[in-house]
Structure 1
């Protein structure tokens, strides 16, 4: 381990290497040869934590650079889109992934997704990353982000990114009010402000108050409670749309859009929880959940098989909803309903048996082929 760590230090001391490459070397140092064996990784992570805690000049310089990298990164983009179905549908998603397999999109400055792709560039990285306890990751990140120079600026930037992500998601959710499929199911969306629009207005006011007036979050607990009520109403609206779709026509596209809307509302709930508990042990656990999900998503970002599985899940939900529409009369809750269903099914069986007997009689009657066809068709 010491020899391996010594080689890592030699790489980190090279000034011509950028901070992303230095981070890549650190991740490579803790990456296990077998993703299912995390013992060596935990030992390597402890070694990194000790290195940064000693306040070595090299460690301080790297920590400053990592904080600057985060400050220049657009974390909100990754938070708002990671793990949420594409707005453009499966067809566009498949073509985009196929294209990126051969001609990847050039990285943009501040693209947090590109940083993730560079650091966790192995397909099985998500296995060992998710196998490590959250507490170990929290200690690891706390050590490499322990810059005394940029610590507060980094916190302010991350908090602003969370506020921005919440505002963007609320706008996307509000825009779903004009979705043609949703309007077909519930025309009252055109006649009044839905919970989606009300949520966007409250989120906008909330973000404005926090950013411009620097209000302490503890002082606006009432505003957060009201937002949570509106989010519950949004969930109820989604449930109502799903219920109405059973009677007014379900489709794969509609199921896809309802699934995506539900995912956006859930993500907004997670972001608001991060805002409410910012810089507390509770928020760190939520961040680790998002971090692990991001690593897993990064491993399958260009996977056609993953998008195929995703489409299968949506189709399965659509089929399930459609079946519930046409097959609910076969579901019973008590003995009386069961007996009624039994007699109903038995009656249909008797009719089919009589029709089969008539058809057999027609075939045995010796009619010409034309007459036999007519009588069989009429039967």
Structure 2
């Protein structure tokens, strides 16, 4: 470090940028999160600067040369701010830059900044150093000794230019049709986005004039800050409107850009104002510095594009799923019994679906046609189950997980993490567990005997079983959790269940955002064909069922095609679903005339149970993870619930299987009879009141 500082004292201007990068490499710890090593490096640099005046003069010269010889505006207006490209254009550009990075421009401070802080984790060790050590470094540089004030003036002018550019862009984004659609009052009243631009331009002109003529009074930015707050209020209205009318990726992208522009304008306004607390000014400068380094380090990261742009969309998707999830939670014994009946109806239909699946397999169709036939069998069957208001048990987790996350989010927003009603949340999870238990029981207890009846009737009428002995042996082999990849394949089915839940929420959001029911109700040819009343009913059905039907269709197509895809690509991928696996055990038993080894039966039953558990665990875990992430929560928010659930299980294990009996309502208190008056003069009034 000392050798680099010594070399700076005699280096030419062209060599200073490389020496600054070398100095940062000396300060950079071996591990980015090693705060102790980073602190030691900063303290050592402070010591050298205080001990050698020529070192601090050389370092000041290098820093001032960096900002005076390069154009600063792109650093302030582009680093850490999404461009005006669409989401997919940004994604393509980042992928291209990741594969083939662009050539740095030596005249751009943005590119020079990236050369100096070139490690992808520089922002981590910069943030790990406490602020007081950075303040100490700033004091050790002794900028009060510097006589070159032109560089500071040029920096302020470029910050003013950056504020002007950001303000114009903010005004343009605020008038985008997507924003106006969700906040129509900007068409009736003057938009704060436009007004802030007018006020900002006037402020910049006055500021420049004050820099030239010191006798002019200084202006403040209070009015701009008020207008920026109004812009944020408008964005809050847009978000609330999106909760009712749906959201799109493009709207989410615009909302993120608006927030980024407002935050950057506020930061730059703070930095160009030299008045006020010097320590507060240093704090803002350091905050901007670390933010710019972080943005520069992550400028090619593809994951950030997804995480930033899918946040609101994921929230809306899981919010629709959580509202659907309320229908999958039985509150009382009556609802619990109703769930069993609904699941039993689904088991009845799955018995036929499994038959069609086995018969289609016996037809030996070409692979792609077979995959299509399998997928349509599953898809149409699941859609029929939904239309008849029946329930597939494994469809529940993706919905109920979103409901649990929404409940955690609501309680966190009300009182913070410490005030979470853990008892209420634990009770909600207990309800979910027992509802899923009875749904699985309804599916399995009906599909097994019904599939058995179908197989026996088929063998009696046609003289041959539905499947031959070889196919029956494969069916039993596929149920074994030891001899086959049944649990791995069950996990794949769980992923499909999770994706189906997201697809359902996505189409519900799409239906609302694009006003699909209203557009269907307004179709002239449909009104003439089936009548206005039936068209309105159809539109209402689409409004409430489009997401569920789409989710069931895609879920069925995924289940039907994954096995074929595995064959085509040579990978051992397939699906195992508890309800269909139960039916296949019945068909196999009839093929062997019930002459099955008891060990095989026990292993098959254990495999069915583990397949169901894997289906539920994978789909529930993934759905809960996405629902928590969309609400800026993590699994730590659910960790305290574990103890509550264990205690609940130890004290009342029956609640996990059967709802408690409803308590008899307390009798309403009877008002005491009015005693007759003692005074004879009021007896007549008392009698009149009693008659009324």
Provide TM-score, normalisation by structure 2: 0.44
Equivalent residue runs for 1:150-165 within 5 Å: 150-165=147-162
Query: Shift in Å at residue 26 of structure 1?
Result: 1.3
Picking from 193, 196, 202, the partner of 2:193 is: 196
Q: Equivalents in 1 of 2:267, 2:10: separation in Å?
A: 40
Q: Supply the RMSD in Å over aligned alpha carbons.
A: 3.8
**Contact map agreement 1:255 1:318 (CA 8 A) in 2:** no
**Contact map agreement 1:171 1:200 (CA 8 A) in 2:** yes
1:37-58 Cα shifts (integer Å, max 9, x gaps): 3334333323333433456446
**Contact map agreement 2:166 2:265 (CA 8 A) in 1:** yes
Distance 1:164 1:204, change over 3 A: same
Q: Equivalents in 2 of 1:216, 1:302: separation in Å?
A: 47
- SS of the aligned residue for 1:220 comes to coil
Q: Which has the higher relative contact order, 1 or 2, with Cα contacts under 8 A spaced 6 or more apart? A: 1
Query: Shift in Å at residue 108 of structure 1?
Result: 2.1
Q: Equivalents in 2 of 1:78, 1:118: separation in Å?
A: 13
Distance 1:217 1:225, change over 3 A: farther
Query: Shift in Å at residue 103 of structure 1?
Result: 2.8
Structure 1 stretch displaced more, 114-123 or 312-321: 312-321
Q: Which residue of 2 aligns with 1:252?
A: 249
Q: Equivalents in 2 of 1:87, 1:134: separation in Å?
A: 34
Query: Shift in Å at residue 254 of structure 1?
Result: 1.1
- SS of the aligned residue for 1:18 comes to helix
Query: Shift in Å at residue 268 of structure 1?
Result: 1.9
Structure 1 stretch displaced more, 34-43 or 125-134: 34-43
Equivalent residue runs for 1:8-27 within 5 Å: 8-9=4-5, 11-12=7-8, 15=11, 18-27=15-24
Equivalent residue runs for 1:261-300 within 5 Å: 261-277=258-274, 280-300=278-298
Equivalent residue runs for 1:12-51 within 5 Å: 12=8, 15=11, 18-51=15-48
Query: Shift in Å at residue 209 of structure 1?
Result: 0.4
Residue 78 (structure 2) pairs with residue 81 (structure 1): yes
Larger Rg: 2
Number of aligned positions between the proteins: 347
Distance 1:60 1:76, change over 3 A: same
Distance 1:83 1:65, change over 3 A: closer
Structure 1 stretch displaced more, 118-127 or 314-323: 314-323
Distance 1:34 1:251, change over 3 A: closer
Query: Shift in Å at residue 237 of structure 1?
Result: 1.1
Distance 1:58 1:288, change over 3 A: closer
Q: Which residue of 1 aligns with 2:134?
A: 137
Q: Equivalents in 2 of 1:216, 1:270: separation in Å?
A: 27
Q: Equivalents in 1 of 2:242, 2:104: separation in Å?
A: 41
Query: Shift in Å at residue 310 of structure 1?
Result: 2.8
Structure 2, gaps ≥5 residues long: 353-380, 389-692
Q: Equivalents in 1 of 2:49, 2:115: separation in Å?
A: 22
**Contact map agreement 2:119 2:297 (CA 8 A) in 1:** yes
Equivalent residue runs for 1:36-185 within 5 Å: 36-54=33-51, 56-57=53-54, 59-144=56-141, 146=143, 148-185=145-182
Picking from 307, 310, 332, the partner of 2:308 is: 310
